[in-house]
Amino acid sequence: MKRGFVTAALLIPVAAIALAAARTAPVALSPAPNAEAVGFDAQRLTRLDTYMSKTVTDGRVAGIMYMLARHGQVVDEKSYGVRSLATGVPMSRDTIFRFYSMSKPITGVAMMMLFEEGRWRLDEPITDFVPEFKSLKVMTGKNGDGSVALEPVKRPPTMRELMSHSAGFGYGLFDQDPVDKLYREKNVLGANGLADMIKRTAEIPLMYQPGTRWSYSSAVDIQGYIVERLSGQKFGEFLQQRIFKPLKMTDTAFFVPREKATRLAAVYAPNLVTGKIEEAKQLFGVPMPTYLEPPALESGGGGLVGTITDYARFAQMIANKGDLDGVRLLSPASVELMGTNVLSHDVLARGDGLAIIGLRFDEATGFGLDFQVMTDPRGAGHLEGKGTISWEGAAGTWFWVDPANDVIFVGMEQRMGDVAPDSPARAARTLVYQALLHPEK
Nearest to 329 by CA among 20, 26, 21, 22: 26
Most confident by average pLDDT, 37-46, 274-283, 416-425: 37-46
What local confidence, expressed as pLDDT, does residue 427 receive? 95
pLDDT of the residue at 147 = 76
pLDDT for the residue 27: 61
- Say which residues have a Cβ less than 8 Å from residue 111's Cβ, sequence separation at least 6: 120, 163, 223, 226, 227, 369, 370
Q: Each residue of 235-269: pLDDT tens digit? A: 999 999 999 999 999 999 999 999 999 999 999 99
Mean pLDDT of 138-162: 91
What confidence tens digit (pLDDT) does each residue in 299-321 have?
999 999 999 999 999 999 999 99
- Highest-confidence range of 106-110, 144-148, 355-359, by mean pLDDT? 106-110
Q: What band does 285 get if pLDDT is binned at 50, 70 and 90?
A: confident
pTM: 0.93
Q: Is the pLDDT of residue 1 over 80?
A: no
User: Is the pLDDT score of 65 beyond 80?
Assistant: yes
**Which pLDDT score, from 0 to 100, does residue 341 have?**
98
Given a cut of 50, whether residue 37 has pLDDT beyond it is: yes
Lowest average pLDDT, out of 149-153, 285-289, 337-341, 375-379, goes to 285-289
**Per-residue pLDDT band at 144 (split at 50, 70, 90):** confident
Query: What local confidence, expressed as pLDDT, does residue 417 receive?
Result: 81
Would the pLDDT of 426 be above 70?
A: yes
Confidence of residue 390 (pLDDT cuts 50, 70, 90): very high
Residue 272: is its pLDDT beyond 50? yes
Rounded Cα distance, 55 and 424, in Å: 8
**Gap between the Cα atoms of 334 and 417, Å rounded:** 33
Residue 13 has pLDDT above 50, yes or no: no
pLDDT at 19: 41
Q: In the chain, what are the domains? A: 27-101+250-433 (3.40.710.10), 115-231 (1.20.58)
Instruction: For residues 401-421, give the mean pLDDT.
Output: 93
The 10s digit of each residue's pLDDT in 347-386 is 999 999 998 888 999 999 999 999 999 999 999 999 999 9
Pair 137, 100: CB distance under 8 Å = no
Residue 24: predicted pLDDT: 47
The residue with greater pLDDT, 4 or 92, is 92
Per-residue pLDDT tens over the stretch 42-53: 999 999 999 999
Percent of the chain surpassing pLDDT 70: 94
Q: Is the pLDDT of residue 396 over 60?
A: yes
Q: Do the Cβ atoms of 157 and 210 come closer than 8 Å? A: yes
Confidence of residue 22 (pLDDT cuts 50, 70, 90): very low
